[in-house]
């Protein structure tokens, strides 16, 4: 990890960049209708065409080949996706805005220059990936009418690869929680069971992939926001090495990437999204050994914060370990050397700037400082805690990040791959609060506490939610890549992913491991259970 990291500066611009952190908020059950960013017209495209089932069960790579061969047009693919949204979104609330007219125009003007995803419909996360003219609320009620005035370099790169953006997916306020729910956009319901949540904060993205609306949907990840919902909806979620993807900072912060159902799509997308300034993305990557079976793998099912881990999560890892050993891999039991409780205290310490950024945004629109009722209780608590942030906070965090870097560098020299559950449990019910109700009043009055008490109160309030997802934050604060693979389904017919983490720059190794599981038919997705 770079020693000059200033994580506080990142967090103070978190909302302005629209990135997503994993904190925890309240659950509700409201839903919202898809919002059109322009008038929607019905466009009928003449044959040839493909069936709905062919569209649902094809990878992005396969769809692009169909377009290029003349079996289907980009406009027809958009029609398939939009029809699926209109049929299923009232139950899922995965898509929060639709740009059908613009997408049809872009499809009509699309030129074949060999793009790998030529003419394939894509949904992007409504947070941190702005596209001009579409919603840019950050999930804040006072910003409900804000539209993006620019398109990010990340989204532009996606378009250059042939994708056609058809809309935006649901996310929680500021991306702060490990479920997808907010006062503005409502709950994203899990396609496996509508009473369950998708996870967060890229919850709308994974729901749209699991439900076959699109084969790939983008998101971002600063504490598990791509991997947690991937685990809970049975799709693939990759969090790349910090700074390797176009538009991402090289210091520990949020990373942009995607969730998908096919590892080849992920591999192609990864190669196409690498940062190109001075070939910086390629320069960060390490070569992959020809025989990955010679790579030692450590595994653990112990929660980093000493909380319970379900039998399902343990069984998911044991199942993977048994498979790997049967194929000749060396897999040994070993826990991460990092103190997870201390790590999360540092994580929350640095998250306080998110609250101040929220206040600044709201004040720029309303002319007034935000109130408790304007935002979630935790956004309010972060804002209050930031007012008492000590002057040495940056140094405290930097020292801890340096320690984590040393610890994980040494660990990966012995064990290049680290296997854990992605989440400690299967998806929670939408009625399960992400933090317990008795903490709401404590968060409301947190301004009366001293700073140490504030951070402890924040940790205590979040522990109910963190207990469900304690495995993902390490990769973010270490800057390492991690991937969630959909290899397990519980007796209750709910998915739970396994996570592989590797040293910085070993993203392609993780993708190759994912390909090994896919090639051996170990992926278990919703399509297999319908």
Residues with a known catalytic role: 125, 201, 225
Closest CA to 210 of 150, 160, 169, 271: 169
What distance in Å separates the CA atoms of residue 482 and residue 340, rounded to the nearest whole number? 17
What distance in Å separates the CA atoms of residue 275 and residue 364, rounded to the nearest whole number? 32
SS3 at position 484: strand
Show the beta-strand stretches assigned E in 170-223.
Answer: 189-190, 193-197, 216-221
What distance in Å separates the CA atoms of residue 320 and residue 303, rounded to the nearest whole number? 18
Q: Answer yes or no: are the C-beta atoms of 208 and 229 closer than 8 Å.
A: no
How many contiguous H segments (helices) and E segments (strands) does the chain have? 19, 14
Helix (H) / strand (E) containing 385:
helix 377-386
Which residues sit opposite 177 in a β-bridge? 23
What distance in Å separates the CA atoms of residue 296 and residue 292, rounded to the nearest whole number? 9
Closest CA to 324 of 293, 357, 281: 293
SS3 at position 299: strand
Three-state SS for 114-172 is CCCCCCCEEEEECCCCCCCCCECCCCCHHHCCCECCCCCHHHHHHHHCCCEEEEEECCC
């Amino acid at each position: 990890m770079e020693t000059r990291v200033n994580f506080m500066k990142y967090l103070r611009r978190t909302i302005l960049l629209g990135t997503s952190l994993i904190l925890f908020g309240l659950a509700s059950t409201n839903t919202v209708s898809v919002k059109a960013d322009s008038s929607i017209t019905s466009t009928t495209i003449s044959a040839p065409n493909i069936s709905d089932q062919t569209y649902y069960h094809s990878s992005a790579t396969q769809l692009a080949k169909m377009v290029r061969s003349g079996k289907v047009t980009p406009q027809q693919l958009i029609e398939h996706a939009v029809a699926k949204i209109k049929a299923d979104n009232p139950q899922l609330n995965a898509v929060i805005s639709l740009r059908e007219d613009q997408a049809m125009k872009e499809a009509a003007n699309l030129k074949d220059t060999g793009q790998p995803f030529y003419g394939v419909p894509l949904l992007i996360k409504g947070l941190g990936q702005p596209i001009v003219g579409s919603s840019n609320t950050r999930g804040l009620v006072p910003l409900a009418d804000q539209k993006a005035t620019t398109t990010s370099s990340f989204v532009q790169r996606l378009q250059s690869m042939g994708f056609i953006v058809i809309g935006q997916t649901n996310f929680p306020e500021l991306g702060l929680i490990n479920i997808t729910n907010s006062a503005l956009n409502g709950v994203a319901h899990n396609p496996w069971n509508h009473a369950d949540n998708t996870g967060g904060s890229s919850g709308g993205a994974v729901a749209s992939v699991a439900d076959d609306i699109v084969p790939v949907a983008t998101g971002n990840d600063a504490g598990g926001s791509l991997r947690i919902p991937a685990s809970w909806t049975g799709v693939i979620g990759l969090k790349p090495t910090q700074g390797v993807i176009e538009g991402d900072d090289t210091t520990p912060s949020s990373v942009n990437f995607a969730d998908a159902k096919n590892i080849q799509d992920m591999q192609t997308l990864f190669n196409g999204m690498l940062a190109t300034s001075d070939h910086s993305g390629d320069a960060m990557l390490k070569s992959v050994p020809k025989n990955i079976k010679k790579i030692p793998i450590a595994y653990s099912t112990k929660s980093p914060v000493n909380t319970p881990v379900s039998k399902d999560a343990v069984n998911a890892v044991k199942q993977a370990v048994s498979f790997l050993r049967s194929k000749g891999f060396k897999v040994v039991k070993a826990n991460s050397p990092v103190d997870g409780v201390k790590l999360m205290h540092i994580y929350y310490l640095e998250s306080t700037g998110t609250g101040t950024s929220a206040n600044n945004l709201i004040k720029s629109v309303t002319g007034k400082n935000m109130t408790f009722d304007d935002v979630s209780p935790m956004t309010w608590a972060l804002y209050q805690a930031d007012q008492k942030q000590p002057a040495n906070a940056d140094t405290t965090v930097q020292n801890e990040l340096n320690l984590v870097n040393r610890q994980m560098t040494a660990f990966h020299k012995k064990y290049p791959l680290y296997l854990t559950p992605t989440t400690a449990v299967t998806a929670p019910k939408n009625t399960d609060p992400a933090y317990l109700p008795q903490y709401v009043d404590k968060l409301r009055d947190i301004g009366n506490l001293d700073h140490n008490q504030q951070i402890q109160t924040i940790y205590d309030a979040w522990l109910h939610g963190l207990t469900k997802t304690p495995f993902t934050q390490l990769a973010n604060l270490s800057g390492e890549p991690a991937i969630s693979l959909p290899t397990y389904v519980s007796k209750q017919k709910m998915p739970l992913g396994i996570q592989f983490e590797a040293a910085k720059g070993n993203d392609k190794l993780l993708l190759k491991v994912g390909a090994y599981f896919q090639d051996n038919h170990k992926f278990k997705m919703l399509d297999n259970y319908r």
